[in-house]
Structure 1
Amino acid sequence: MKELNWKGIDLNLLLTFDALFQFGSVSAASKYLHLGQPATSYNLKRLRELLDDPLFERHGNRMQPTSRAVEIAPKVQEILAIFTQDILPSEQFNPSEYEGKFSIGVSDYAEQIFGPNIFDALQAHAPNAKVLFKPADNENCVDLLENHNTDICIGVFNAMPSNVESTFLYREKHLCTFDNSVLKTELPIPLTTYLATPQMIITANDQLTSQVDNTLASLGVVRNVVLGTTRFLTIRRMLSGRKHLAVMAEMVGRSELIHDQLTLCPPPIDIPDFDIEMVTLKRDSKHPKVVWLSTLVRQLIQQQVNESRQISTYD
């Protein structure tokens, strides 16, 4: 294969060729390219040397393309189209014309609560696109973004590396959740009733404890945990009709995915809030598609949270 002198090749040569092929005139091509005629003629000279072909020959007032020029013209136009349409950044992302895939990393919590609204909105705005939800957590979200073509991740993320950009969505708080038609306690629930009531917890390990137990230990008291699971919807379903309670994230308790009559109220001890965030790779954060998707998801989630919080806590 002939070794190319890449230093002698630039995009201006292709632009010059395309303009000469379209207009058949050095002066017209120069006007179209906003170049002086000497510059256009010089680019043509470089093209002839590079391709070892005259490319264009003067016949009267027109520059007629050679057979070689006719052969390569469609390929030059294809290269320019790829560069302008696929490589150069577009001013905006048009979801109605998008036929690709939105890949979103979500925690189990975020997928259950916000997934339906996100999917519906994407279907409405980008009807020809596909949507993929991927399991995401603090441990794997960077790998999803870096290596698995994931656009954004939603969840609770701590100590992210410098190549990740975080966007705050909302602050989540903990509420006591129970069926007060069975428990029959005053509201908000007193500490004595809280400690005396068997509890269910969300846990990712073999221990039936959480940060709540550390707080209780500092007060010199303990609670009675009788069930642990990683699935918050399991707890939500099991609370109905039972004399049990759970400390759950507020949005889990307010979710309408399950139709029940559970009561929500503040816990009788201090439990720290936590932030729900959306993360993207910094190097991709200005990509039109990512900007559009991030804006849509942020607005949807914040609106859903605000509407949920309009409901009275004691319900």
Structure 2
Amino acid sequence: MSNINWKGVDLNLLLTFDALMVQRSVSRAAEQMHLGQSAMSYNLNRLRKLLKDPLFERQGHIMVPTRRAEDLAPRIQAVLTAIRDDILQPASFVPGEYCGRIQIGLNDYTELVFGPVLFDALMQQAPGCQIVFRAADDSNYQQLFEQGEIDLAIGTYPELPEGLVRQQLYREKHVCLFDNSMLQVDQPISLEDYLATPQAMVSPTGELASPVDKRLSNLGYERHMVLGSSRFITLRHLLIGRRLLCVMAEMMGRTEFFAHKLTICPPPVEVPDFDIEMILKKRDCNHPRMQWLSNQVQQVIKQHIASIFAKSGKSSEQNVSQAGLPQPG
């Protein structure tokens, strides 16, 4: 490779060769390439020096290829075809032909709420693919991206490092969830009943306090926190048949998994909303597969939220983001 004069290699020279093979005339080849005849002759001389062969010899009004030129013709044609079709043409992605992996980072909440519908939609579009849901949260998502273990992530990410972009999917609210056959309280639950009821919370770190407690403390109140669990599934089983209340994300509370046998109502104290976002690498935003995957995630989540609210008789318009795809730049 080091002995090749790469500085002398020019794509235009391959086009010159191809035009001469087709036209067998310097003037007609120049016309095909929209060049002057002198420029075409100059390119031919460069080719001859580069390949160390006359390549074309004039016989009357025809440029006849040498054996070396005839040997090179199909190879040069293959190179030009590859450049035209595989490099210069806009890339495309056909989901039905894709047999690779789709790797999505999800936390416990987003996997439980959206994992099944994402699986169904992606398998319908790309039945030959393999889908991997990776546990991803604010503590490890950067490493997963750096190691190429996820294509995108869905969750809550307050600060993003350079190189990642975000797209808001929807605005999440909070609800109280409890078994009212045990509590037997009026709805929506009053602040008095709320404070008197033992409470549980999702706590991956074991911390038994949240912004709710700070808000209550500012008002001079304190709730009765008795349980922290890292798993939503555990809380669902604990809430049924017990005097226990949990404040959790509304989408989680309204899934059939939780809503069955449990009562949902607004909390009596203000709880800050938060965004559920999709994040991906900025440099991958324009890749056809990533554009398809991003669109699928947005559509599936939007439709699933609408379905959840339709079953509850509530509008989803205030939750679902109407923004477009994340854009690099």
Task: Give yes or no for TM over 0.5.
Answer: yes
Unpaired segments ≥5 residues, structure 1:
none
Which segment is superposed worse, 111-120 or 182-191?
111-120
- Could you say what secondary structure the match of 1:158 adopts? coil
Q: CA deviation at 1:212?
A: 1.9
The residue that corresponds to 2:48 in the other structure is 48
Q: 1:223 & 1:240 partners in 2: Cα distance?
A: 20
Aligned pair in 2 of structure 1 residues 246, 259: CA closer, same or farther (>3 Å)? closer
Q: 1:266 & 1:95 partners in 2: Cα distance?
A: 41
* Count, aligned residues: 313
Q: 1:218 & 1:31 partners in 2: Cα distance?
A: 83
The residue that corresponds to 1:217 in the other structure is 217
The residue that corresponds to 1:273 in the other structure is 273
Aligned pair in 2 of structure 1 residues 138, 31: CA closer, same or farther (>3 Å)? farther
What are the superposed Cα offsets for residues 273-314 of structure 1, whole Å, 9 maximum, x if unpaired? 00011112222212222222212211211221122223147x
- Could you say what secondary structure the match of 2:123 adopts? helix
Aligned pair in 2 of structure 1 residues 20, 159: CA closer, same or farther (>3 Å)? same
**Which residue identity lines up with residue 135 of structure 1 in the other structure?**
A
Residue 178, structure 1, aligned to residue 206, structure 2: no
What are the superposed Cα offsets for residues 6-27 of structure 1, whole Å, 9 maximum, x if unpaired? 3322322233334445565555
Q: 1:165 & 1:283 partners in 2: Cα distance?
A: 9
**Which residue identity lines up with residue 108 of structure 2 in the other structure?**
D
**Which residue identity lines up with residue 93 of structure 2 in the other structure?**
F
RMSD: 2.8
**Contact 1:90/1:288 (<8 A) preserved:** no
Q: CA deviation at 1:78?
A: 4.5
| TM-score in terms of structure 1 length | 0.86
- Could you say what secondary structure the match of 1:121 adopts? helix
The residue that corresponds to 2:255 in the other structure is 255
Q: CA deviation at 1:62?
A: 5.8
Q: 2:230 & 2:256 partners in 1: Cα distance?
A: 19
The residue that corresponds to 2:123 in the other structure is 123
**Which residue identity lines up with residue 104 of structure 1 in the other structure?**
I
| TM-score in terms of structure 2 length | 0.82
Q: 1:58 & 1:99 partners in 2: Cα distance?
A: 52
**Contact 2:252/2:258 (<8 A) preserved:** no
Aligned pair in 2 of structure 1 residues 222, 85: CA closer, same or farther (>3 Å)? farther
**Contact 1:106/1:135 (<8 A) preserved:** yes
Q: 2:134 & 2:25 partners in 1: Cα distance?
A: 56
**Which residue identity lines up with residue 294 of structure 1 in the other structure?**
S
Residue 83, structure 1, aligned to residue 83, structure 2: yes
Q: CA deviation at 1:35?
A: 4.2
Aligned pair in 2 of structure 1 residues 72, 254: CA closer, same or farther (>3 Å)? farther
Aligned pair in 2 of structure 1 residues 206, 107: CA closer, same or farther (>3 Å)? closer
Unpaired segments ≥5 residues, structure 2:
315-329
Which segment is superposed worse, 51-60 or 241-250?
51-60
Which segment is superposed worse, 171-180 or 31-40?
31-40
Aligned pair in 2 of structure 1 residues 309, 17: CA closer, same or farther (>3 Å)? same
The residue that corresponds to 1:137 in the other structure is 137
Aligned pair in 2 of structure 1 residues 98, 268: CA closer, same or farther (>3 Å)? same
Q: CA deviation at 1:249?
A: 0.6
What are the superposed Cα offsets for residues 157-213 of structure 1, whole Å, 9 maximum, x if unpaired? 112134322111100011101111222111011112112212111112133222222
- Could you say what secondary structure the match of 2:246 adopts? strand
Q: CA deviation at 1:223?
A: 1.9
Which segment is superposed worse, 226-235 or 89-98?
89-98
Share of identical aligned residues, percent?
A: 50
Which segment is superposed worse, 20-29 or 236-245?
20-29
**Which residue identity lines up with residue 199 of structure 2 in the other structure?**
Q
Aligned pair in 2 of structure 1 residues 272, 259: CA closer, same or farther (>3 Å)? closer
**Contact 1:240/1:260 (<8 A) preserved:** no
